[in-house]
Amino acid sequence: MSPLRMIYLALAIWGAAHPMAHLARWASQNGFSPSGLIAEWLSSPASAALTWDLVISAIALSVFILAEVAVRRNWIALVALPATFLIGVSCGLPLYLFLRSRPVV
Q: 3-class DSSP state for residue 88? A: coil
Judged against a pLDDT cut of 80, whether residue 104 lies above it is answered with no
Q: What is the mean pLDDT of residues 3-20?
A: 97
Query: Is the Cβ–Cβ distance between 75 and 69 less than 8 Å?
Result: yes
Alpha-carbon torsion angle 43, 45, 49, 52, nearest 10: 40
Look at the alpha carbons of 33, 35, 41, 45 in this order and tell me if their dihedral is positive or negative. Answer: negative
- Read off the pLDDT of residues 52-62 as tens digits, 9 standing for 90 and up: 999 999 999 99
44: left (phi over 0), alpha (psi -120 to 50) or beta: beta
Judged against a pLDDT cut of 90, whether residue 103 lies above it is answered with no
- Read off the pLDDT of residues 12-50 as tens digits, 9 standing for 90 and up: 999 999 999 999 999 999 888 899 989 999 999 999 999
Domain ranges of the chain: 3-100
Reported pTM: 0.89
Of residues 12, 9, 4, 7, the one with CA closest to residue 91: 12
Report the pLDDT value the prediction gives residue 32, as an integer from 0 to 100. Answer: 87
Question: Rounded to whole angstroms, how far apart are CA atoms 85 and 6?
Answer: 23
